[in-house]
């Protein structure tokens, strides 16, 4: 789902669809090293992650305050989640993160951000580890980007995607 600043809400269903296969997730040696520089937390700063993703200086920004309020309500209801990368120091700072919606075994990622090199990717590593451990079966990233491709993201035809969604949402609710 996307929102144009000041415009109507639009629903996007790209064909093909970007996904990260949980069994095909790739963590490079350098990214593995970066994982040791951050603490990964879940759901400790949901609105802050959304606001960082909404940074108005980002090209094609679509997350506005109304959208943040709606997703924060989904978070309060247990449907939307954030995975965050925090600095490891005496005064931890939020430096990367991602958020999305979990339904059954599906995690539909919405956006991610970073303020330090690899911090957003480290949050995604933490998310995939939790999806694997918590019963996840489908990690939807909507679009294949070069950034996500380095992590093993791939494209699948819409029909295949819809079949995977149908199976994923019947699974027990994810535990992140």
Mean pLDDT of 11-39: 93
Q: Can you give the pLDDT at residue 13?
A: 82
Of 170, 110, 173, the residue nearest 139 (C-alpha) = 110
CATH number of domain containing 17: 3.40.630.70
Could you tell me the pTM of the whole model?
Answer: 0.91
The DSSP symbol for 146 reads H
User: Which of these ranges, 42-51, 52-61, 77-86, 148-157, has the smallest mean pLDDT?
Assistant: 52-61
Q: Is residue 47 part of a domain?
A: yes
Is 50 exceeded by the pLDDT of residue 46? yes
Check: CB of residue 38 under 8 Å from CB of residue 157: no
Is 60 exceeded by the pLDDT of residue 53? yes
CA 147, CA 124: separation in Å to the nearest integer? 12
How confident is the model over 91-121, as pLDDT tens digits?
Answer: 999 999 999 999 999 999 999 999 999 999 9
How confident is the model over 1-17, as pLDDT tens digits?
Answer: 444 455 665 667 889 99
SS3 165: helix
Q: Is residue 6 part of a domain?
A: no
Q: Is residue 28 part of a domain?
A: yes
Structure tokens at 44: 């400790």
| pLDDT band per the 50, 70, 90 thresholds, residue 167 | very high
- Rg of the chain over Cα atoms, rounded to whole angstroms, equals 15
SS3 114: strand
Q: Is residue 176 part of a domain?
A: no
Q: Is residue 174 part of a domain?
A: no
| pLDDT band per the 50, 70, 90 thresholds, residue 146 | very high
Q: Is residue 173 part of a domain?
A: no
Q: Is residue 66 part of a domain?
A: yes
Of the chain, the percentage scoring pLDDT greater than 90 comes to 82
Q: Is residue 8 part of a domain?
A: no
Structure tokens at 15: 């064909």
| pLDDT band per the 50, 70, 90 thresholds, residue 55 | confident
Taking the CA atoms of residue 18, residue 22, residue 23 and residue 24 in that order, the dihedral angle to the nearest 10 degrees is 40
**Dihedral class, residue 152 (left if φ above 0, else alpha if ψ from -120 to 50, else beta):** left
CA 39, CA 123: separation in Å to the nearest integer? 9
Number of domains in the chain: 1
Domain extent, residue 135, equals 13-168
How confident is the model over 119-129, as pLDDT tens digits?
Answer: 999 999 999 99
Mean residue pLDDT across the chain: 92
């Amino acid at each position: 789902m996307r929102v144009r600043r000041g415009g109507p809400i639009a629903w996007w269903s790209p064909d093909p669809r970007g996904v990260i296969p949980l069994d095909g997730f790739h963590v490079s040696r350098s990214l593995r090293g970066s994982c040791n520089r951050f603490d990964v937390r879940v759901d400790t700063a949901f609105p802050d992650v959304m606001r960082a993703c909404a940074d108005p200086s980002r090209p094609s920004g679509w997350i506005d305050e109304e959208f943040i309020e709606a997703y924060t309500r989904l978070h309060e209801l247990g449907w939307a989640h954030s995975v965050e990368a925090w600095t490891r120091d005496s005064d931890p700072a939020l430096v990367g993160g991602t958020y999305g919606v979990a339904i059954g075994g599906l995690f539909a990622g919405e956006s991610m951000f970073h303020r330090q090199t690899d911090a957003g990717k480290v949050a995604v590593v933490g998310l995939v580890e939790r999806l694997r451990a918590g019963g996840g079966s489908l990690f939807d990233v909507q679009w294949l980007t070069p950034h996500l491709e380095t992590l093993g993201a791939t494209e699948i035809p819409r029909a295949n995607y819809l079949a995977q969604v149908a199976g994923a949402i019947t699974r027990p609710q994810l535990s992140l």
